[in-house]
Structure 1
Amino acid sequence: MNLVTFLLTFVKIGTITYGGGLAMIPLLQDFATSNGWLSVRDFTDLIAISQSTPGPIAINLATFIGFKKFLFSGAVLASVAVVLPGTFLVILVSKFLQHFNEHPTVRLTLAGLKVSVIGLLGMAVYQVARVAFFDSTSGPIPWAQFDIKAGILFIGVWVANQKTSFHPVVYLVCGGVIGVLLW
């Protein structure tokens, strides 16, 4: 894949994805894994890294994917390519939306977009959970391959989060340390 096709794909993802970086995850994963740059497991690890580094997850993912393919120039160009379409669309839509905010068609369109974002987020959660809890990334989920240690860690962090009020970084660090010790 040449650099122009690479950039146009990031522009397309940035243009058609509504709902922020989390909604881009399934599209970015499909792009990176179908081209053989990352395995599904590597992409899932990349999501964890992108969530724990400063900045929006979509830009972080685009930066890492761009670096994987075209090194520093790919990282910079992918980051810009995924951000610019949304920036221009927000500016353009905000100019018109304030005048048509209460129009029934606009309200129904926004309601439909909300539902599609929930679907994209659900797919992202499903894809990450599949890799995190099971030892399979394609086909039906074989329940015999459920990773009990990952399930216990998930429940433990969830309960700790519900019962305490620590900063999320504390849970990330503790989960990372426990993960290193268990795996």
Structure 2
Amino acid sequence: MTLLLLIWNFFQIGAFSIGGGYAMIPLIQKLIVANGWLTVQEVADVVAISQMTPGPFAINAATFVGMRVSGVVGAIACTVGVTLPSVIIVLIIAKFFFNFQHVPGVRYVLYGIRPVVMALIATSIVTIAQTALFIPEVTLTLQNILQSVDWKAVAICVVSLIAMVKFKVDPVIMIVISAAAGILIYAVL
């Protein structure tokens, strides 16, 4: 039963996550946490690990969650579930898109979808920021927002952002450097 539920949940994630891997984070969090398979913190960890490993984010995340919940069989089930909608949809779209891509209505649909994808990615950023940049033991309120900020994490985030945007440091290298910085800052200092 758990395997069918995993396949179904990841089929939904794959089917309704328009815009790529990061756009699926809110849906992953909602379905996975609601089923009690992972906590919000564990979802944030899966996001980090999925980003740092080779391959598409969505497949990596599905594989990690499936492995955590039901071992290798669960990993396979989640991976099949999350990829199946894309395979089906792309086969259908590929059949018709190139014939109709210049039709104004098709372009208008794409113009309408793009802002929603941006909103989904922004939602993911907010969700990850809550677990990555704030002290988890402190309940976040407007009154204590500055006291609940993990300033060490903010420093790592800002330095990483500048390094990647301004100096074009490779994200994988930045993840390794940030992991070393985390050990140094949190364990030593």
TM-score by length of 1: 0.91
Partner of 1:164: 167
Dislocated runs of 4+, deviation >6 Å: none
User: For this pair of structures, how many residues does the alignment match?
Assistant: 183
Partner of 2:118: 118
- Mark the CA change 1:54 to 1:138 in structure 2 (over 3 Å): closer, same or farther: farther
Distance 2:57 2:141 in 1: 28
Amino acid at match of 1:149: K
Contact 2:6 2:81 in 1 (8 A): no
Distance 1:88 1:46 in 2: 26
Q: Which runs of 5+ in 2 are unaligned?
A: none
Distance 1:150 1:114 in 2: 31
Distance 1:86 1:114 in 2: 18
| 1:10-29 correspondence runs (5 A) | 10-29=10-29
Amino acid at match of 1:112: G
RMSD (CA atoms)? 1.9
Deviations 1:6-57 (A, max 9, x none): 2112112211221111111111111111122211111111111110011111
- The DSSP-based 3-state class of the residue aligned with 2:99 is helix
Partner of 1:33: 33
**Percentage of matched positions with identical amino acids:** 36
Deviations 1:86-120 (A, max 9, x none): 11201111211112212222111111211111111
| 1:19-168 correspondence runs (5 A) | 19-136=19-136, 140=141, 142-143=144-145, 144-168=147-171
- Mark the CA change 1:103 to 1:122 in structure 2 (over 3 Å): closer, same or farther: same
Contact 2:7 2:80 in 1 (8 A): no
Distance 1:138 1:73 in 2: 37
Amino acid at match of 2:114: K
Instruction: Using the TM superposition, name which of 22-31 and 47-56 deviates more.
Output: 22-31
Distance 1:71 1:120 in 2: 29
Distance 2:139 2:13 in 1: 23
Q: Is 1:177 the counterpart of 2:180 in the alignment?
A: yes
TM-score by length of 2: 0.88
